[in-house]
Structure 1
Amino acid sequence: MPPKHFFDDAVHLVDTALRSLTLTNPSLKYDADHKIIYRQHSEELESIVSIVSGGGSGHEPGFAGFVGKGFLTASAAGSIFASPSAAQVRRAIDHVPTSKGVLVITMNYTGDVLHFGMATEQAKAAGTNAQFFAIGDDVAVGRAKGGKVGRRGIAGGILVLKLCGALAELGGSLSEVYSLAQHVTSNLVSVGASLECVHVPGRANPPETHSAGIEIGMGIHNEPGNQHIEATLPELVQMMIRQLLSPEDTDRHYVHITENDQVILLINNLGGVSMLELAGIVHEVCTQLKDFGLVLVRVISGTFLTSLNGMGFSISLLKLADTGLGDGKSLVELLDFPAEAVGWAAPIQRSTWDTGMTTKTQAVAPVTKTAKQIRESTLTWGPEFASKVLRAGLTQLIAAEEEVTRLDTIVGDGDCGIGLKRGAEAVLQILSSLPTDAVASVQNIASVVEKSMDGTSGAIYSIFLSSLAHSLRELDEGPAKQVVDSKHWSIALQSSLTALNKYTPAVPGDRTLMDALVPFIDTLSSSGDIKKAAKAARDGAERTKFMQASLGRAVYVCGEGQWVGKIPDPGAWGLQEFLNGLASEF
């Protein structure tokens, strides 16, 4: 099997990852012998409470990525998914100023609690004013199963670290910082979900631990969830929110959050979700929470506490409650306090949030021309027959999507088939409403293609169809109505091809859709036979198997020798499928 990681030595990987933090944040130092990242000593640092955290590696940017001004003072790292030792944590305490006291804080996992707790007791025995706190925010493990252990610490814990770091930077005492950690945790709930387990660098591929589907309540160390389901994203989010908020689930009802409560929302990427999907998840979660009646005073999304490259995300809700610390030290103000830590991504200033929450967004309706607003022509066609012919071509194109996508995955970026299918499905939706005016019909189709298809293919089809409508209009001799025949189509298609050549240098032989389009138009013009023209398009697409790409993404694809003679150009293949489906009705 191909490698899943660029590193096969996990020890070397952890070391280099920690070293990199001193390159991206010059205020940090690295103790390589003990895998500790800490802030450089300064007079300013001596006057504030130090905060020491840490945990197993594999959760990046947690925890070393949160060391910096306004956040953590030091962090100790263990091996992947393993707690650092008490000796490491004790050494981390030695690296930080202790005159104002030290808060040792980690996530609530047995190994972390034992090692960080032991180091705290050793520091206290040596005369250091230190306090220990374990963060538990996960609701997936209820009271009955959690028992004496309590809630696990997952991504919501980063909010605890952020707020405590801000208070320490503002001069809060050790007792105040410790109390704040308790206060935030008591108003915090989180739950995660993942599509699959992760693979650890340097280890053999793990056996499949669960079947296809979604694990709700999956932890950050590859632990299974409390529920295995198959669901759409809206269904999944609804179930996760129910676990976070439902008072009826007394086993998991840790924080009473109800309608009109103000909350801070944190959506965390477990490491393997694309930014595109994460953004879609954020929208879905916010929509459902607002429907629930919650007031989202802050929405923060990103990668904060991962499970290596876990294909999942977590939702955390922090209910706003008075900290009792006075002006400038509310939960929101502490969250907004600036931090210099590479792992913290919340760049929106408080003034922007305040303005945005008081300004109502008004939707602006797009200005589009309807079929009646497009200047009428005297060129007509039979919309029922045209609809039947187009439907045959579009249906065959949609059926070919899987094959076109397979081809494009080999020689392109894999989106050609999906784009063609999306455009074809959109055009199918308007076939029943096509007017008798041939020019208006083509123009309507061009407009739909422009809106539904993106990428290079979308642009080419949109230009060609728009030009086809214009070329037909140029043939309008009016004022008497006339039916569009093969001569009209041949002239208009040739004219559209000429127009298209202004925007793309592609010609037959370049291994593009032109290898199917040009033979089709030329054969139709010379013979007037659409079946012959469609066959010429297919033959042209077949010939692309033996061509070297001159344009398009195939130019950049390696391993050309492996597919020459076997793989046709996906764009040309998709086009010939449409044209042959269309010709089947003649």
Structure 2
Amino acid sequence: MTSLNAPAFSLTLFNSTYTAKQCGVPVYKVLQYFDAETDALSWPKTHKYNYATASVENHPATVHSNSYTIDIVVDPDTLDRKLRKAAANIIAIEPKLTEWDTEMGDGDCGKTIEAGVLALLQAIDEEGLAQSGSVLRVVDAIVGITEDRMGGTLGAVFGIFFAALFNSLVATLGAMPSNTPAEKVIAMATVEALASLRVHTPAKEGDRTVMDVMIPFVEAFKDGDISKAAKVAKAAAEGTKKLLPKLGRATYVSSLYTRDVLPPDPGAWGVHELIQGLAA
């Protein structure tokens, strides 16, 4: 297919494990439905699944554990409050994020982040996600949420970042003395997670993307002071109002605006709102 005369190709990935779980049927049955006879136009049977050897249903996409051999455990009430505040910030700002992304993109940014935080609140309320105070459990759950409940470029960015953050936390905990402050461990792991994310995206500061907040926030958070880093994140989000887009769909419509009237980048602003909640 083409996009504005740019040759490209498209791959669509379908989460059969999650769908089977939601529908209450085995994975192989979901795959059989794809190959069922149909009168739908433009739906050729180009692939036949080998059900006899299929073992995908025995391997869920993400396995969430309630306990870990090493962990960061914080005050459960504080963890619960910060997660809820971050979610509340997104829910409150979602209409604006959607408005800004409708002007400068494809309009899905607000709902994408909102879907993620609503799933997080569901896990808190129904599964007691924060009750143990386990940071690893929360990050692990967020990885699953980004895989199953979020979409778009932002969902992919969050998925890569939080998966890398989980692995970095485990590695950092194993390498640091047991009395290392939790804030220091998280800060160090965040630096590693950002480095992993940057391998997968060309976006950098100044491109008017989510990275315009994530990069300066992580840099400011190196010493573990999230309050200071949150102020940096807010300033960075405000700064996207003065940036012309260099990546993404916003590049197509930037000529309609002047540098003085651009709305903030919705992805960057959404990350800033999440950070403010965690710092509260």
TM-score (norm 2): 0.72
Q: Which deviations, in whole Å up to 9, do the C-alpha atoms of 1:157-176 show, x marking residues without a partner?
A: xxxxxxxxxxxxxxxxxxxx
Deviation at 1:440, TM superposition (A): 3.1
The match for 1:259 is: none
Q: Which amino acid in 1 is paired with 2:156?
A: A
Q: Which deviations, in whole Å up to 9, do the C-alpha atoms of 1:151-207 show, x marking residues without a partner?
A: xxxxxxxxxxxxxxxxxxxxxxxxxxxxxxxxxxxxxxxxxxxxxxxxxxxxxxxxx
Taking the aligned partners of 1:428 and 1:414, their CA distance within structure 2 comes to 23
CA RMSD, 1 decimal = 3.0
The match for 1:471 is: 168
Question: Taking structure 1 as reference, are residues 437 and 482 closer, same or farther at Cα in structure 2, changes over 3 Å only?
Answer: farther
Deviation at 1:365, TM superposition (A): 7.2
Question: Taking structure 1 as reference, are residues 388 and 373 closer, same or farther at Cα in structure 2, changes over 3 Å only?
Answer: closer
Question: Taking structure 1 as reference, are residues 512 and 478 closer, same or farther at Cα in structure 2, changes over 3 Å only?
Answer: closer
TM-score (norm 1): 0.36
Taking the aligned partners of 2:63 and 2:181, their CA distance within structure 1 comes to 22
Taking the aligned partners of 2:187 and 2:93, their CA distance within structure 1 comes to 26
The match for 2:243 is: 547
Q: Is the 8 A contact 1:408 1:415 kept in 2?
A: yes
Q: Is the 8 A contact 1:377 1:437 kept in 2?
A: no
Taking the aligned partners of 2:43 and 2:231, their CA distance within structure 1 comes to 57
SS in 2 for 1:433: coil
Deviation at 1:412, TM superposition (A): 0.3
Identity in percent: 33
Deviation at 1:547, TM superposition (A): 1.1
Deviation at 1:525, TM superposition (A): 1.8
Deviation at 1:433, TM superposition (A): 2.4
Counterpart check, 1:385 vs 2:78: yes
Taking the aligned partners of 2:278 and 2:169, their CA distance within structure 1 comes to 20
Q: Is the 8 A contact 2:79 2:133 kept in 1?
A: no
The answer for unaligned runs of 5 or more in structure 2 is 1-36, 46-55
Counterpart check, 1:570 vs 2:277: no
The answer for unaligned runs of 5 or more in structure 1 is 1-297, 302-344, 350-362
SS in 2 for 1:388: helix
Q: Is the 8 A contact 2:244 2:254 kept in 1?
A: no
When you count helix as a share of all residues, which structure comes out higher? 2
Higher alpha-carbon deviation: 373-382 or 568-577: 373-382
Deviation at 1:563, TM superposition (A): 6.2
Taking the aligned partners of 2:65 and 2:242, their CA distance within structure 1 comes to 47
Q: Which amino acid in 2 is paired with 1:529?
A: D
Deviation at 1:484, TM superposition (A): 5.3
Deviation at 1:390, TM superposition (A): 1.1
Q: Which deviations, in whole Å up to 9, do the C-alpha atoms of 1:312-340 show, x marking residues without a partner?
A: xxxxxxxxxxxxxxxxxxxxxxxxxxxxx
Taking the aligned partners of 2:213 and 2:242, their CA distance within structure 1 comes to 14
Q: Which amino acid in 2 is paired with 1:517?
A: M
Deviation at 1:409, TM superposition (A): 0.4
Q: Which deviations, in whole Å up to 9, do the C-alpha atoms of 1:425-457 show, x marking residues without a partner?
A: 111111222444422331122111221111100
Taking the aligned partners of 1:511 and 1:396, their CA distance within structure 2 comes to 21
Taking the aligned partners of 2:167 and 2:44, their CA distance within structure 1 comes to 47
Counterpart check, 1:422 vs 2:115: yes
Taking the aligned partners of 1:551 and 1:401, their CA distance within structure 2 comes to 22
The match for 2:136 is: 439
Question: What is the aligned residue count?
Answer: 230
Q: Is the 8 A contact 2:62 2:144 kept in 1?
A: no
Question: Taking structure 1 as reference, are residues 465 and 524 closer, same or farther at Cα in structure 2, changes over 3 Å only?
Answer: same
Taking the aligned partners of 1:347 and 1:462, their CA distance within structure 2 comes to 30
Deviation at 1:512, TM superposition (A): 0.7
Deviation at 1:386, TM superposition (A): 1.1
The match for 2:10 is: none
Residue correspondence of structure 1 range 99-498 to structure 2 within 5 A: 367-372=60-65, 376-431=69-124, 432-434=128-130, 435-477=132-174, 485-498=182-195
SS in 2 for 1:429: helix
Q: Is the 8 A contact 2:112 2:151 kept in 1?
A: yes
Deviation at 1:511, TM superposition (A): 0.6
Q: Is the 8 A contact 1:381 1:484 kept in 2?
A: no
Question: Taking structure 1 as reference, are residues 347 and 444 closer, same or farther at Cα in structure 2, changes over 3 Å only?
Answer: closer
Deviation at 1:561, TM superposition (A): 2.8
Taking the aligned partners of 2:139 and 2:169, their CA distance within structure 1 comes to 9
The match for 2:231 is: 535
Counterpart check, 1:502 vs 2:199: yes
Q: Which amino acid in 1 is paired with 2:162?
A: L
Question: Taking structure 1 as reference, are residues 465 and 538 closer, same or farther at Cα in structure 2, changes over 3 Å only?
Answer: same
Q: Is the 8 A contact 1:440 1:469 kept in 2?
A: no
Q: Which deviations, in whole Å up to 9, do the C-alpha atoms of 1:267-308 show, x marking residues without a partner?
A: xxxxxxxxxxxxxxxxxxxxxxxxxxxxxxx9867xxxxxxx
The match for 1:136 is: none
SS in 2 for 1:549: coil
Q: Is the 8 A contact 2:161 2:197 kept in 1?
A: yes
Taking the aligned partners of 1:408 and 1:427, their CA distance within structure 2 comes to 23
Deviation at 1:509, TM superposition (A): 0.8
Taking the aligned partners of 2:43 and 2:208, their CA distance within structure 1 comes to 46
Deviation at 1:541, TM superposition (A): 1.1
Q: Is the 8 A contact 1:422 1:453 kept in 2?
A: yes
Deviation at 1:524, TM superposition (A): 2.0
SS in 2 for 1:386: helix
Q: Which deviations, in whole Å up to 9, do the C-alpha atoms of 1:197-248 show, x marking residues without a partner?
A: xxxxxxxxxxxxxxxxxxxxxxxxxxxxxxxxxxxxxxxxxxxxxxxxxxxx
SS in 2 for 1:532: helix
Taking the aligned partners of 1:479 and 1:372, their CA distance within structure 2 comes to 23
Q: Is the 8 A contact 2:72 2:135 kept in 1?
A: yes
Match of 1:521 among 218, 227, 250: 218
Question: Taking structure 1 as reference, are residues 482 and 428 closer, same or farther at Cα in structure 2, changes over 3 Å only?
Answer: farther
